[in-house]
Every structure is written in C-alpha cells, then in structure tokens.
C-alpha cells in the first residue's frame, strides 16, 4: 500500500511554520509496511483542498491529512471532504460528550459556544477519538469513484496527531498492508557525502531487489538510510542486514551508530561503559561541545567540567597556556590547542580532556589561517608514572559563523569518539 501526506495550512506555504508532523507519520506508516510516496502542503481554500484530495486519491490508496479540523472559519478540511465524497456533516454525540467532560473536569472553565460545531463529522466515517485535544479525527472511505481509497483526517497539533496515529490509524491499516518495510540508519561523522559514496559505490550498484540506499546530508555530515521492501519480514531483514554489514565493513571508520542517535549520545554511552570522565576547553565554540554533551540524560556521570576561554589571558590564567606559545604560534594553532587540552586535563582531574580554538568568521581569517579553520586537542591521563597522551589536529569548515561553530563541535566530538573506540 502506498500513501500520500497532505498538510493543510497557509502558514506552511508562507514559511511561518515547518511541517514537523510528516517525519512521525512516515515512520509510523513504515512500521506497518506502508510506503509514503509524496508529502504535500496545501492552502486553506476549499478549491485547493478538494483539488489536492482528488489528485492524491487518483494516485494513492491512502491519503493522510493533517490540519484544518477545528471549528473556526479558517478550518475548511471537513467541508472540503464532505463536498468531495458527497456526504453531509453529521453531529456525533460521543465526540460532543467527550469534549464536554474535559471542560467540566476543570472547575470554573466554561465550554466554548462552538463545541457542538466541533463535534460534526463526515457521515459514515470511522471517528477517531481525540483524547489529547478537541477536534476528532476520521477515517473515510472515498468510494468507488476514487478506487475505494481512504482519506484519514487528523488534527495538525503534533501531540493530538501522534496519539491518533499510534492508537487508531496504524492498527487499522496494518492489517490490510501486504508489505514489510525496514529502514536502517547509519550515522556517520568526519567526512562528507562524496567520500562515503566512493567507498560504497560498488555496493550501491549491486543492491538486492527491493532495497534502496539514500544519502541524507546534515549540518555535520551525512547519514545513510538502507531501506528494504518485501512481502516476508524474514527475507526483508536478511537483505537489509546484508547491505548494512557490507557498508559497515567498508566505511567503519566513519560510522558511529546504526540507529537515530546523536554523536554525543554515543560518546556519553561509551564513557559510561568504560568508566571514564571528560572535560572540555573551548574558545571558538563558546561552550557548544559541553552543551551538546550535557544535553544527554545521564551525562552527569561522565562530564566533569567545561572551560570557555575566549580571551588569550583567560587561556593562560585558567588553563596554563604559555604566553610564549600564544606569541609564537598564535591562539589558533595546534600548539595552543594541545596546551589547552593538557591544562584542562590537569585542572579538571578528568580522564580525557578535549579543546578547540579556531576562527568561526565571518572575519578574522588570513591566508595561513582562513575562516573556518579550527585546531583541536585531546589529552588523556597516562598510566601511573607516565606522561599524558596528547593528540592535535586541524579541521577546515566552510559556512557561516553558526554552521562553522557546529561543525567545529562535531569535529571535536568526532576526535573524542575515535579515541574512545581505541581505549
């Protein structure tokens, strides 16, 4: 079964809002073996809505719609569907009583005058209860005129839509889906799409039937998605795993996860597993690395402390960076990054310390040290009686200030991840 998603709302077409519902719906349908072929945004007019519904039902057996179900004048989805399928809106007593009880449960809160209007549904539809909000959802058979396809109407509010998808929509259509879809995400860091593609080009040329490979670039790199469709779950899982294993063998240096995890989540997990702690010393990233690590639940077990040493004087005072090093090599140098990491290691008492100093831009660069250049350092405690391990490297990013800062943070986390894999 193939599906199309339609999001109703002028705010989606003017850029005032971003369609955040589509990823959840696609993932939910995929778990039921339903493939989404199109995601469409549609304006708030009856003509636009009916025209889009008619067009989508000619292509797909299942059309899922979000938005436009409220009782106000700008909510036209129900009216458009009633016109399209030539069925009237009828009052649903169960929906009315359900929403009325919600208002009665709050002392002093009066029910709105349009509560009865909110309880009108398309005649003959399967009503989807809204336990989170007010507007009911509906599953509607579009009739023989549209190949007996289905329209599913859901509110645009994410919490309401998600509950309806999980509790009603997916179970309803899963039983009629004859296919199985499996997606495996390979998260990478430290390189771009071109390098990954060159590593796996022959694998991509010999994918088994029903399997596709997609490249999903993001701010810090690229993720790969291996998707396999088929009629048998066992055969789908075998084919998908065969491709995933082949890619892992070829690009293992860059792949840090086989699920939708951030690099910082993987790092915190590795630190906890190995019983290690980390501290950060940051200049150009302004605390972004520490922020990303501490965004992860449980990071308090492994994160010791962080230093934001933007000024040279602070690098000297807090981290012990030598003034002669700053004068000779400059603040943006491998030498300074190394001394920042060593100073952070000593001051914090952590097992590992990482440091970054660079030029985020848009100004401040030179021919030798262009905008987007960052110097990274990593220091780790040595065994008893031995000097600490020290590694430094240079990374070059290309973007605006915010993009460069994020890529700097990703590069430093990538350096930490590589080290943790070897410990």
Cβ density class 19-56: b for 16+ within 10 Å, e for less: bebbeebbebbbebbbbbeebbbbbbeeebbbebbeeb
Q: Is the pLDDT of residue 396 over 90?
A: yes
pLDDT tens sequence across 11-58: 999 988 889 999 999 989 988 889 899 999 999 999 999 999 999 999
pLDDT tens sequence across 204-248: 999 999 999 999 887 777 899 899 989 888 999 999 999 999 999
pLDDT tens sequence across 155-206: 999 999 999 999 999 989 987 777 788 889 999 999 989 999 999 999 999 9
pLDDT band at 316 (very low <50, low <70, confident <90, very high): very high
Q: Is the pLDDT of residue 103 over 90?
A: no
pLDDT tens sequence across 329-345: 999 999 999 999 999 99
Nearest CA-CA partner of 69 in 124, 9, 20, 112: 9
Distances (CA, A) of 368 to 145, 301, 371: 69, 40, 10
* Cα distance between residue 314 and residue 334, in whole Å: 18
- Phi and psi of 76, rounded to 5°? -115, 5
Q: Per-residue pLDDT averaged across 269-298, rounded?
A: 98
Looking at residue 111, what is its pLDDT?
66
């Amino acid at each position: 079964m193939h599906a199309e998603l339609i999001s109703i709302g002028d705010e989606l077409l003017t850029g005032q809002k971003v369609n955040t519902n589509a990823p959840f719906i696609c993932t939910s349908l995929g778990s039921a073996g339903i493939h989404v072929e199109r995601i469409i945004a549609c304006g708030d007019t009856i003509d636009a809505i009916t025209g889009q519904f008619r067009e989508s039902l000619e292509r797909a057996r299942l059309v899922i719609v979000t938005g436009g179900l409220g009782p106000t004048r700008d909510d036209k989805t129900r009216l458009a569907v009633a016109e399209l399928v030539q069925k009237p809106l009828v009052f649903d007593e169960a929906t009315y009583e359900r929403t009325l009880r919600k208002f009665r449960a709050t002392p002093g809160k009066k029910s709105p005058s349009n509560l009865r209007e909110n309880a009108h549904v398309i005649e003959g539809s399967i009503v989807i209860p809204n336990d989170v909000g007010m507007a009911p959802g509906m599953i509607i058979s579009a009739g023989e005129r549209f190949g007996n396809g289905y329209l599913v109407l859901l509110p645009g509010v994410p919490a309401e839509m998600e509950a309806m998808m999980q509790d009603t929509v997916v179970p309803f259509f899963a039983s009629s889906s004859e296919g199985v879809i499996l997606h495996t995400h390979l998260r990478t860091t430290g390189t771009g799409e071109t390098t990954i593609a060159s590593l796996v080009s022959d694998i991509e040329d010999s994918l088994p039937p029903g399997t596709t490979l997609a490249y999903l670039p993001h701010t810090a790199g690229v993720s790969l998605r291996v998707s396999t469709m088929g009629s048998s779950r066992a055969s789908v899982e075998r084919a998908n795993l065969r491709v995933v294993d082949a890619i892992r063998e070829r690009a293992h240096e860059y792949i840090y996860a086989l699920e939708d995890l951030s690099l910082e989540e993987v790092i915190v997990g590795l630190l906890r597993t190995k019983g290690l702690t980390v501290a950060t010393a940051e200049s150009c990233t302004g605390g972004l690395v520490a922020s990303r690590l501490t965004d992860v639940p449980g990071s308090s077990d492994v994160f010791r402390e962080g230093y934001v040493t933007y000024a040279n004087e602070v690098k000297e005072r807090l981290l012990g960076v030598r003034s002669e090093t700053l004068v000779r090599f400059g603040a943006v140098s491998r030498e300074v990054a190394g001394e920042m990491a060593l100073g952070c290691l000593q001051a914090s008492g952590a097992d590992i310390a990482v440091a970054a100093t660079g030029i985020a831009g848009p100004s401040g660069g030179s021919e030798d040290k262009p905008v987007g250049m960052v110097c990274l350092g990593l220091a780790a405690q040595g065994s008893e009686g031995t000097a600490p391990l020290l590694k430094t490297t240079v990374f070059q990013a290309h973007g605006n200030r915010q993009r460069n800062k994020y890529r700097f943070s990703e590069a430093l986390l990538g350096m930490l991840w590589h080290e943790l894999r070897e410990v």
